[in-house]
Structure 1
Amino acid sequence: MMADWRTIFGHDEPYDEQEDGIETAIETARDDGFSVIEGACGTGKTMLALTAGLHLVRDPDSQYERVFVLTSVKQQLRQFETDLKMINANLPDDWNPISALTLIGKADVCPYNRENAGGIDDSNVYDRCEGLRERTRDITGESGATTAQNLASRARSQQMGLADSGSQSGGASYLETAGEPSPYPPEMPEYGDVEYCPFYAQFLEDMPEDGDPIESVPFDFDSMGLIEPSDLVAHSVQWGTCPHSMMGALLNHVEVVVGNYYHAFDEVTTATFTGALVDDSTFLVCDEAHMLEPRVRDLVSQSVGDKTLRDAEAELTRVIQPVKFDDKDSTHTTADANLVRSELEDASVSLRELEQTRDFVRDLREEVDRRVTAYLEREHRGWKANLTDLPDAEIPLRDPTVPQSDEISKWAEQEGYDGGTWARAEKVGAVVAKILNEAEEEDRERSALPAGRALGEWYRNDHEEYFREIVLERTWNDREPGDSWRRAYNAQLAMQNCVPSDAIGEQLGEFGGGILMSATLEPLEIFQEVSGLVHLENDGRPVVERTFGLNFPKSNRESFAVDAPKFTYSNRGAPGDETRERQVYADAIRDVAQSPGNVLVGMPNYAEATWAAEHLRKVVDKPVLLDESSADDATEDLKDEFFGGEAKVLVTSLRGTLTEGVDYRGDRLKAAVVCGVPIINTASPRTRAVRTAYERKFGDGFTYALTVPAVRKARQALGRVIRGTDETGIRVLVDSRYARESWDGVREFFPEAEREEFQPVSPDMLSLGLERFWQTH
């Protein structure tokens, strides 16, 4: 009989909430169901989820063989790793350790890329890897030129300077990484004049013909517990085998796999890498589940850029030309022409289909050019003289509020391009990519395949839940003509999945059961609908809800909902306007920013964040940092600056990356103030289409698509303040919609306990409430 789950639990005693959550999750999963858990910081959600899942995995009477953890936040990924180590450290002596693996990308495990060797670096690692693997398979495959064992042996002898075709340049004789030497040289070896990967060759040699890939793993992973990336690389290179292939071989045999949403919901990733995890023997843990809906929407949406279409057209032409020229001179046959004919025949693709696809892509680009030019003439007269001032833009291809066929699809039909043209594009793109990779002996991503895939999806997906538009993104390309919009923009044909609930629900249904959890899921009934869990209930699978509030002492925190005029554009005006309503907010953020310690100010967008920072620099005797929409490295530097040294104020957009998934534990944050309800731009065609789709699906598009996600953003920001039992802090919401039970109020979207904590106060009483709290803390 399986021991009690407390044997696996990594701490001495669980919180009451953890005990309830663990037992609920176990019972629900035994019935093939999912638990939906909102748990505030301090609930111990990671340990809760791992304990429940691992108890089922270790139970011989359970269907579950593994736990698959998905999280979109690196900090949370580290927390799962920490808790796994704690579980292993506290298991009974006669228990085997929990085996676990964290999934990471090729760039982080490729020995050559890690050391910038073999002509591989971050800019080309994925393309080079695929090309090298394909050539390694070709050499050892049907051609029978040599064996995988011989390729690996040649590279080993080349390292020692023994192979006739090999030579050593200066530098290390061994490629070393993760603190371990490999048996191969830093240079990429060759067979004849063809490069190959010796690490992958060794993997192929160790792979049994009809066996499980796990038999190719040369080291004892069962005793390792959590296999961290550096451990995986170190053990693999010692044996001269491919770390990424080892990860693929291990993932179906360890008890816990930690990854991100791509690993379960991206069609390409599951088809080529993690598909073995998507079945009813997997206990799924969706962490940060409030992000499930937007993350999956992005994954199941499609786009293809004008530059990609341009490159696809050129690639198609390069494949067509050798055969066309060869046909004109029957006395001369080129190797390229023979290659093209052979590959087309193998793929059952005709030259005529290549030509039709090339013509379609060319004409499609011309149609996009016509539409973009017409839009700019209509909306930005004189745009050619002001290319640097053009903003990002959306050009809808249908009325966002009326589901119907889009204008590009109608144009294609009128031009004689039928459904077959769209549908064939992916197959044509695949064969073009294969031909060029073989003919040009260059490892890089080809555009014909992703372009063809996007065009195929454009045709296949419906027009009710998918919205199509041309998206103009600011860029700058001096190589384009001075009067061309392409100098200032990259145009994308974008297809947005407006309602991903069906896609989410269908994929969740592939798993045996599990937990979806976050600190901000309420209202849970709405979360269930938008995340497709209702599909599971309709199939008779249970979905059980739990909500756990903050279990830290209430005396350590104070929470206010300031009854200020709604922070909407019609009320406050533009950031530079000196309106009475804006002054109320200026006073509120000043009062909170004067709190002792670090203070976080969350504004609805970056423009308002800039206004708030400029105001605070005039009235607060603290350094004021402004988070701007910028690259990850700049954001990380800003975060480090905020945490270091004297107390500061950090002003950011509530739609940025600093208001969730960032650890503000300890003295890193003493107060947070949120201004307004951060509803996204409702005038955007894409937003209007999403709202319409939600209206048709759920009956209340504004609430489901806009209001509830905005409230979750606000709650995430406030959740940065109190992260531990001994921490003290202030949480402030400024907007009457947080303070009143009105027709447009949002208090109802907070959990009941949280509503009770956020006391409605008038703007003039906020400073008094803050002063009283800090006098006693």
Structure 2
Amino acid sequence: MTETITREQMENFWTKYFPYERVYNDQVDGIETFLNTLASRNHMLMEGACGTGKTLIGLTAGLSAIREPAEWATHQQQKSGWNKTGSLPTYERVFIATPVKQQLKQFVEEMRVINNQQPADGAISTVVLRGRDDMVPYLSDSVGKNQYDRDDVDTLRQRSRELVSPHSDYDINWGLVSASATRWSPPENASVVEQYDPNRIRAILERLEEHVDSQGTSQMNIDGQRVPYPEYLPKLSDVANVPEIANGRFDPFYIGFLAHAHPEIHEYEQLTFADLPDSIVDTHSLWKKAITRGICPHSQMAHLLEEADVVIGNYYHVLDPMSRQLTKKKVDVLDGETVLILDEAHNLETIARDVFSFECSRETLEETQQSVGAIESMVEQRYEDFTTLIPGENPFEQITSMEDLETFQNQVVANLTDQIDLQQLPFNSEAEIFELFKADDIPDDKTWDDLTADTGKGRREAANRAFGGSSQLVKMILQDLTDNENTVRELLRPVSGALRRAQSKLREQAETLVSNDYPDREYPTIEEVSEHGLQRYEKSIDRPKSTNKDEITKEIADAVRDDLPSGYQTIWSLLEEIEGIITLVNQILPKDSQLTASASSFLLTWGKADRTQYFREVIVEPTVSEDTTGEASTWQDLWTARYRIHNTLPTEQLRHRFSEVGSVLLMSATLEPLEAYQETTGVGDSLYPSSFDTDNDLGKLMTVPKSTTTDTREIITRQYPLRFSETNRGTYAVKLPKFTYKNRGDPVTQLKQMSRCRQQYLHALEDAVCRIPNVLICMPSYREAQWVVEILEERVDKPIYLDQSSSATETSELLDQFMPANEAILVTSSLGTVIEGVDYKGDALHGTIVVGIPIKPQTDRRQATIDAYDARLDTLDGWTAVNQIPAIRKARQAIGRVIRGPEELGVRLFFDERYAYTEHQRRDGVQNYLSEQEQQEVMDISPEYIQPAVDRVLKQ
């Protein structure tokens, strides 16, 4: 058993952030090692068994580095063996992430314990990241009543920002706020919050309060708390003079956030970390505090994020390009000054494959098709009118001076405002049109010769100057008068055709998949679906090992080949420009009428993405709404079809993430083999932030360019074994035939129909569960888990609980029944959630049985993943990397549920001869993938010795 020492004995600067009186030697080593890693801006891999205190190691070292830089520097200089030179790096925050929801709660509790030991003025500010669905009032059940979605919220926020902008055109009802204070200018270097007019904010909130106090409007009440806004969602006319046609709604909570955050509005008290229990911003504490003050909790969370010492989130906050982009707009919490800690890091590759894959639904294809059609219609309807805006046949050739340029610009604006019916154009006002076309300010030191110095481009730049920021759009609509290139209509026609063909192919593929089960199109009723569920369908479009273009790619390209404008060889080169066209069009459209280019971007990726790393599929997913009733007339009533581009090997994307941050701690109880982990996750090739381009947008990258530098970081590794007494546990490899489908056959329940292999496993399971009080059985799949339940129910006098793929709430309810039962059986899949992040303390679990090796079924996608690893990895074959290693990590996670404390007794059983020591030299032997401690402790036994082996441990 590992010895401990007291904090007082340590006399170490970091002990102020270690919340317990005694520290294990492994924890001391881990903290000191991570501090050294941080000092060198390197990365660390830590495999630690249950009880290691991995989270505390990361938090203690990280907090010490960000909050005690001077003491850290002294500590490093005094340490024996530390011979680095130069100053220590600066870290601003610790970001800790996990894919397991139960662990998020554990992180929060750890921070509460640490904060409870800090002085009153030294609390560690902590933010638990939550999504908009949990934190935006009008997306919640209690406020929004399910009436609004994310797009609605975006519109409400945008309208709220326009309402309180210093440059707003809305004529608000000033009320008690002095009209002389209606114009306010942001100070120089103002923050985002300071860009909003405090006087307009005051007036709007006063008007809303008047509606509650004097007009008999019901006041909002949430969970028994009164909120300072009307019960209904306010309209612009409640606070401003607007015509009914423009009378949209806005979000008062967002304006309330601006009021409380704005430094010039002193009458609204700011909401700070000190207002929240233990200085922790989480859903429960922030929601109540913010709502009752009329503040948007989501906006307040993002605002406090700037000051946070610790950020707690999930893997999607770290990896997902969209989440990163949205967070980065507020504050970049994953930069070179961030200490990143990833818990349960053995899951990283699996999650990254999903995050860095691409999907596009039939609905998204239709939306983009409509956007392209809208532009086509606008161009078609207004083409003749727009051509009248240009004075002269070839005006750009006539511009030879600054004076000519100014005259040309003024003539365009005059023609636009005089000759075209403004009501028929997609602009909000004449002023907005003028802003669109007016030239940028020309610096005094710039001459006409400067603007036209670049031969061949000078007149184009002059045109850009004349038309301002949207000149490209206008020139494409008119046609490019400088070099007579393609008109926007010619550019859009083949794009529209490509989108139509992509839709028809997706519909065709989906109908074929569904019709295999419903050839007569007699689809199940909603009631039948509720009782029996629906099948999910997948079809591979790419072929494993093939780098040839798939049939859909070919058909899309062939369908529009004859419509391609001059200068374009393929539809894929044209698609690269469409997103820019739609972006330019959106600059002149109202905020609530924006067009989308997402499907065109997806098609570009489909056509051009590397065919070794990316695998193309069609997915048909059940999507039955709870509100749907009656019979389904078409397959679309029950399923949604989408294309998927699966990223089989996200190594480079992960390397990109690891290169962005200051230092990373990757920790889990099951990282072995560490060399393979470094290669497959890309952490072994990650760069220092100073030698890495952090401006790359991963959301648009199909491949991540490698740096030309060789300045890769050093990877520090540590492994800490289970520290509890060996006499309290037994680890056995039961020499049963390999539990493969070839050996076991179908999961029949009649003994005589079972294969010899399956009969042997049945008898072994009976022997084990009769001797182990509370036992967890982990099968290779949920189908096999169902088989175990059915055969044991007839043979064992114990309650049996079956864990299936279900919601977190259902899983928690199941565990609440099993854990206190003392004499019960819990059966699950080794791929399930109850084997990770669940703490079976005390008598909640006395033994775990892992049956077989939980290798996922072979599919085309999985084979493509294996092929990609074979092609791109240097030292590891694909089958081992994709199948063998992840499966053994899952098995090790399962046995790690047993023995959670020094006084507990437990047994860990591997049912399959491939775990046995005598088999480990065979090609399919797996014992060398266990940890060194597990290899030393595992004992090979025959099935007839199961009961004595179990009794030896549990009957002490």
Give matches, 1:505-524, under 5 Å: 505-524=655-674
1:509 match: secondary structure: helix
Aligned position for 2:790: 614
1:243 to 276, 290, 297: 297
Deviates more, 1:126-135 or 1:316-325: 316-325
Q: String of CA shifts for 1:710-745, please: whole Å, max 9, x gaps.
A: 111111122112222222222111111111212111
1:256 to 303, 310, 314: 310
- 1:671 Cα deviation after fit: 1.6
Aligned position for 1:144: 169
What is the rounded CA distance, in whole Å, between the counterparts of 2:503 and 2:816 in structure 1?
A: 45
What is the rounded CA distance, in whole Å, between the counterparts of 1:403 and 1:759 in structure 2?
A: 47
Structure ID, larger Rg: 2
Aligned position for 1:600: 776
Aligned position for 1:543: 715
1:472 to 620, 628, 632: 620
2:800 to 619, 624, 631: 624
Aligned position for 1:658: 834
- 1:82 Cα deviation after fit: 1.5
Question: What amino acid maps onto 1:302 in structure 2?
Answer: F
- 1:206 Cα deviation after fit: 5.8
Label 1:33 to 1:490 Cα distance change in 2 as closer, same or farther (>3 A): same
Question: What amino acid maps onto 2:156 in structure 1?
Answer: L
- 1:466 Cα deviation after fit: 1.1
- 1:759 Cα deviation after fit: 1.2
1:491 to 614, 623, 641: 641
Q: String of CA shifts for 1:580-613, please: whole Å, max 9, x gaps.
A: 0011111222222223432211111111111111
Please say if residues 423 and 459 of structure 1, whose CA atoms lie closer than 8 Å, have aligned partners that are also in contact.
no
Label 1:473 to 1:232 Cα distance change in 2 as closer, same or farther (>3 A): closer
Q: String of CA shifts for 1:348-369, please: whole Å, max 9, x gaps.
A: 3866356554432222111223
Question: What amino acid maps onto 2:105 in structure 1?
Answer: R
Aligned position for 1:418: 571
1:291 to 344, 347, 352: 347
2:98 to 65, 68, 71: 71
Please say if residues 155 and 591 of structure 2, whose CA atoms lie closer than 8 Å, have aligned partners that are also in contact.
no
Please say if residues 44 and 717 of structure 2, whose CA atoms lie closer than 8 Å, have aligned partners that are also in contact.
yes
Aligned position for 1:395: 539
What is the rounded CA distance, in whole Å, between the counterparts of 1:80 and 1:243 in structure 2?
A: 21
What is the rounded CA distance, in whole Å, between the counterparts of 2:472 and 2:845 in structure 1?
A: 60
What is the rounded CA distance, in whole Å, between the counterparts of 1:429 and 1:620 in structure 2?
A: 66
1:99 to 125, 145, 161: 125
Deviates more, 1:237-246 or 1:563-572: 237-246
Give matches, 1:119-518, under 5 Å: 120-121=144-145, 124-141=148-165, 142-145=167-170, 146=172, 149-151=199-201, 153-161=203-211, 168-169=217-218, 173-176=219-222, 181-192=226-237, 193-205=247-259, 218-221=270-273, 225-274=279-328, 276-314=332-370, 317=373, 335=423, 337-339=425-427, 348=473, 352=489, 356-372=494-510, 380=516, 383-384=519-520, 391-415=535-559, 416=561, 418-424=571-577, 426-427=579-580, 438=591, 448-459=596-607, 461-474=609-622, 486=636, 489-518=639-668
Aligned position for 1:714: 891
2:664 match: secondary structure: strand
What is the rounded CA distance, in whole Å, between the counterparts of 2:577 and 2:349 in structure 1?
A: 31
- 1:521 Cα deviation after fit: 0.8
Q: String of CA shifts for 1:337-384, please: whole Å, max 9, x gaps.
A: 53499799689386635655443222211122344556678xx49734
What is the rounded CA distance, in whole Å, between the counterparts of 2:659 and 2:283 in structure 1?
A: 30
Aligned position for 1:85: 112
What is the rounded CA distance, in whole Å, between the counterparts of 2:106 and 2:730 in structure 1?
A: 28
What is the rounded CA distance, in whole Å, between the counterparts of 1:624 and 1:447 in structure 2?
A: 54
Please say if residues 429 and 451 of structure 1, whose CA atoms lie closer than 8 Å, have aligned partners that are also in contact.
no
Please say if residues 362 and 503 of structure 2, whose CA atoms lie closer than 8 Å, have aligned partners that are also in contact.
yes
- 1:578 Cα deviation after fit: 0.5
- 1:156 Cα deviation after fit: 4.4
Question: What amino acid maps onto 2:603 in structure 1?
Answer: L
Please say if residues 112 and 186 of structure 1, whose CA atoms lie closer than 8 Å, have aligned partners that are also in contact.
no
Deviates more, 1:216-225 or 1:516-525: 216-225
1:697 aligns with 2:872: yes
Label 1:667 to 1:358 Cα distance change in 2 as closer, same or farther (>3 A): farther
Please say if residues 426 and 451 of structure 1, whose CA atoms lie closer than 8 Å, have aligned partners that are also in contact.
no
What is the rounded CA distance, in whole Å, between the counterparts of 1:571 and 1:228 in structure 2?
A: 51
What is the rounded CA distance, in whole Å, between the counterparts of 2:923 and 2:587 in structure 1?
A: 59
1:34 aligns with 2:88: no
What is the rounded CA distance, in whole Å, between the counterparts of 2:110 and 2:819 in structure 1?
A: 25
Q: For structure 2, list consecutive stretches of 5 or more residues without a partner in the other structure.
A: 1-10, 71-87, 173-196, 238-246, 387-418, 437-468, 478-487, 525-532, 562-569, 688-709
Question: What amino acid maps onto 1:422 in structure 2?
Answer: L
- 1:453 Cα deviation after fit: 4.4
Aligned position for 1:443: none
Label 1:585 to 1:148 Cα distance change in 2 as closer, same or farther (>3 A): farther
1:241 match: secondary structure: coil
Label 1:474 to 1:78 Cα distance change in 2 as closer, same or farther (>3 A): closer
Please say if residues 46 and 668 of structure 2, whose CA atoms lie closer than 8 Å, have aligned partners that are also in contact.
yes
Please say if residues 575 and 601 of structure 2, whose CA atoms lie closer than 8 Å, have aligned partners that are also in contact.
no
1:195 match: secondary structure: coil
Aligned position for 1:775: 955
What is the rounded CA distance, in whole Å, between the counterparts of 1:337 and 1:257 in structure 2?
A: 47
Please say if residues 291 and 297 of structure 2, whose CA atoms lie closer than 8 Å, have aligned partners that are also in contact.
yes
Label 1:527 to 1:187 Cα distance change in 2 as closer, same or farther (>3 A): same
- 1:239 Cα deviation after fit: 4.3
Q: String of CA shifts for 1:295-352, please: whole Å, max 9, x gaps.
A: 1221111111224324543565567657756789999969575349979968938663
What is the rounded CA distance, in whole Å, between the counterparts of 2:514 and 2:739 in structure 1?
A: 32
Q: String of CA shifts for 1:481-539, please: whole Å, max 9, x gaps.
A: 97965456432211111111111111111111131101111111111111111213753
Q: String of CA shifts for 1:176-199, please: whole Å, max 9, x gaps.
A: 46x754322232212122211122
Q: How much is the aligned-residue C-alpha RMSD, in angstroms?
A: 3.6
1:569 to 711, 728, 741: 741
1:553 aligns with 2:605: no
The structure, 1 or 2, with the larger RCO (C-alpha pairs under 8 Å, 6+ apart) is: 1
- 1:58 Cα deviation after fit: 1.5
1:667 aligns with 2:719: no
Deviates more, 1:300-309 or 1:567-576: 300-309
Question: What amino acid maps onto 2:784 in structure 1?
Answer: E
1:38 match: secondary structure: strand
TM score, norm. by length of structure 1: 0.88
What is the rounded CA distance, in whole Å, between the counterparts of 1:612 and 1:667 in structure 2?
A: 23
Deviates more, 1:470-479 or 1:747-756: 470-479
Please say if residues 155 and 189 of structure 1, whose CA atoms lie closer than 8 Å, have aligned partners that are also in contact.
no
Q: String of CA shifts for 1:107-126, please: whole Å, max 9, x gaps.
A: 32234445622xx2457353
